[in-house]
Structure 1
Amino acid sequence: MVLTRTDENELLTALYGGVAEAEPWRLFAWRLLARTEADLCHVCLRPSAGISWQSVAQALDRGAPSDLLAPAPPREPMRPGRVYSGTELGESTLWARHMRVIAGEAGELSLSLFRAQGDFSASDSALLASLAPHLVIALRTWSQLERERARATLTGQELAVFGGGWLLLDAQARLLDCDGESAALVARGRIMGRAADGRLRLLLPEAEALLGGMIAETGTPEPRAGWLWHDPPMQMLVMPLPERPGWLFAMARYLIRVRSLARPAPARAHILSDLYRLTPSEAKFAARMAGGASIAEAAKALDLTVETARNYSKRVYGKTGAHGQADLVRLLLDGVGGALPGREGDPL
């Protein structure tokens, strides 16, 4: 069966548009329900082999019995792209049609239609079969978007932990995109903001002057660095961008890298113990020192004598290879131990 123009407008637009929705393919499920006069439409996916099937979209007709449930079909025996009736798969309580598609590393998707009364027609089965290649494309697109979302989330988390951020600007300094932390700064409007015309505004006069000077330069300016803010201390590096493929980079002309100089909270003691094979007591002492406490202050906080604390410091320096407290602070906070913020009450 060839999809009609109405099917393309109603079903395919919802199917392809659904990959970007918070609840993927919900509208597609409702439209397919109406198109086939089904009582229940159920879309499930399995991201990869070994992971259980997950329900991602379901549509239940208002006139259907309220207790109508969608039994999970035995999907493994189903050949990809083939439409199965419920009786072929051993179902006896409902009239149903099932189809499974596989999109390689993107995973698998199953589509099921149910009726409480009256079986589906051959044209309904043909419609599902015609949708199979489109479901594969939609699943691959969704998988790629999910992968990119995950990468962006992880990148944003890493930037936040280490006090960094980025902003993309066009030739007129209009803000095109930025990471989550920078977006929060723009929204608060204390360090940077956004003008009515979309232009990025830096509230520190010297930072605004630096950016304006680069925008005004002819040719390709050199990267420039300066202070974005002083309290908390934040620096910025403004870099011209070479032309790159992609619609976003076609407009982007400048990249601003932001670096916060405020140190993250010290790592928790058990992380230091894992990294440097410190005893629990040594790890607690090292965490105090990494937080800026003196030997005497750490001793008081941990109920140690000053002499015992000095012995701890020698053992900690020996195990970590640090040469003094300043080197210990740098070593502990610049490593992965500094990437796990302390909880309230830490560094105990």
Structure 2
Amino acid sequence: MALTRTDENELLTALYGGMLEEEPWRLFLLRLLARLRADLAQVAVRPPGGQGWSLAGQARDRRLSAGFVPPEPPRDRMRPGRVYAGAELDGDSPAPARHMRVGLAEAGDLTLSVFREGADFSASDSALLAGLAPHLVIAGRTGGRLERESARIALAERELALFGGGWLLVDGQARLLDGDAATVALVAQGRIMGRAADGRLRLLLPEAEKLLEQAIAGGKPVAPRAGWLWHDPPMQMLVTPPPERKGWALAEARCRIRIRALPQGEGRGAEAAILADLFRLTPSEASFAARLAAGGGIAEAAGALGLTIETARNYSKRIYGKTGTHGQGGLIRLLSACVRGKAAASESSAGPPPPEPPRR
């Protein structure tokens, strides 16, 4: 049965548009309830290779009995694309039902179920569900892809935050286009960065604001520029050209601002532990190395840790040997790259080469 124009307007727009909503299936299921005069509708999904099914969305009519619990259909016995009556799958089914399963290829499987407390569903109701099958495949695959990408973005942003980093994209008028969640939240706070009424990014440290203005001025390609974004807490900024593959939604991007928060307090302790594991440093050596990785000199690191200059120099020599570096500059570049992930994230051929593995 072909879907009517009303079905297309009411059901398909809700099905496809819902994939962008926080509750993707809700509006579609509510409209399906009204269309079929059903009392409950639900969607269940199973990931590729998975054994268990999970409820992805459910809608109940407000007149449905509070104690009504829909029976779980034997989904693994259902052939994709076929509409089953509840009695076909479970002879003891307490209420009229219709079930349909569709395969979503790389996104797994999906089932759509509708229930009534009263009269059974008609043949035309089953035909409507069958007509929805190809659309459920498209919507399910789209929703699965969006969910995976959302999970990957969330994971990447957590990793970025772990290493004290962030990013923003701005256009030629410094209007904010996009950024990672933590940095956008920092902009919303308005203490270090803010957003003007016209959407323009405002950097509250004057030298940072001037650096951004100079970087995006004129029609020439953006040249990498670095400076301080804030002093307390210490944060650095690097203005670079935008990524080459921006897509149409970010076609107006003029530059990317990379942000690096320097470690303080407990953050240095975590970095010291990382450096100790990577290079087999003693706890004292690792604490000293973490200070150097944050940009401090030998004398500054020695003063912060209560070391004499002679002891600090001995520490630095032992660290040079364990990390395979020569001189403080090479050591700082290596440690910063390892702790902050700068070597992996660098896209500039003018920057320092990736660090070599430590010598054993």
TM-score > 0.5, shorter chain as reference: yes
Deviations 1:304-338 (A, max 9, x none): xxxxxxxxx9xx97996699xx9999988865799
Question: CA separation in 2, counterparts of 1:318 and 1:21?
Answer: 53
Change (3 A) 1:318 1:185: closer
The reply on whether 1:16 has 2:19 as its aligned counterpart is: no
- The aligned counterpart of 1:49 is 49
Q: Could you say which structure has the greater relative contact order, defined with CA pairs below 8 angstroms and 6 or more residues apart?
A: 1
Q: How does 1:1-348 map to 2 (within 5 A)?
A: 1-92=1-92, 93-241=94-242, 244=245, 246-262=247-263, 264-267=267-270, 335=338
Report the Cα distance in structure 2 between the residues aligned to 1:191 and 1:216, rounded to whole angstroms.
Answer: 22
Query: Aligned partner of 2:161: which letter?
Result: A
Q: Is the 8 A contact 1:109 1:139 kept in 2?
A: yes
Q: Please say which of residues 164-173 and 243-252 is displaced more in the overlay.
A: 243-252
CA distance in 1, matches of 2:320, 2:192: 43
3-state secondary structure, aligned to 1:98: strand
Tell me by how many angstroms 1:196 deviates. Answer: 0.4
Q: Quick check: 241-250 or 76-85, which moved more? A: 241-250
Q: Would the aligned equivalents of 1:291 and 1:329 in 2 still touch at CA under 8 Å?
A: no
Q: Tell me the alpha carbon deviations over residues 63-94 of structure 1, each in whole angstroms, 9 at most, x when there is no partner.
A: 22222111111111211111011111124322
In the alignment, is the contact (CA less than 8 A) between 2:38 and 2:115 conserved in 1? Answer: yes
TM-score computed with the length of structure 2 as normaliser: 0.77
| Distance verdict in 2 for CA 1:120–1:320, change over 3 Å | farther
Question: Cα deviation per residue 1:227-266 (whole Å; 9 max; x = unaligned)?
Answer: 2122222221212337645222312121111122225242
For the residue of structure 1 that corresponds to 2:144, the secondary structure is: helix
Contact 2:222 2:255 in 1 (8 A): no
Compute the displacement of 1:58 (Å): 1.2
Q: Check conservation: 2:80, 2:103, Cα contact below 8 A.
A: yes
* Distance of 1:169 and 1:337 partners within structure 2: 23
Change in CA separation of 1:168 and 1:329 when aligned onto 2, cut-off 3 Å: closer
Structure 1 unaligned segments of length 5 or more: list them: 299-312, 339-348
- Whether the 8 Å contact between 2:193 and 2:202 is mirrored in structure 1 is yes
* 1:183 Cα offset (Å): 1.0
What count of residue pairs does the alignment treat as equivalent?
Answer: 323
Query: Given the two structures, how large is their TM-score scaled by the length of structure 1?
Result: 0.79
Larger deviation, residues 214-223 vs 74-83: 214-223
Q: Which runs of 5+ in 2 are unaligned?
A: 292-300, 307-314, 342-360
Aligned-residue identity in percent: 60
Report the Cα offset of residue 274 of structure 1. 7.1
Q: Deviations over 1:91-134 (max 9, x none)?
A: 43221100001111111111101112211001110111111111
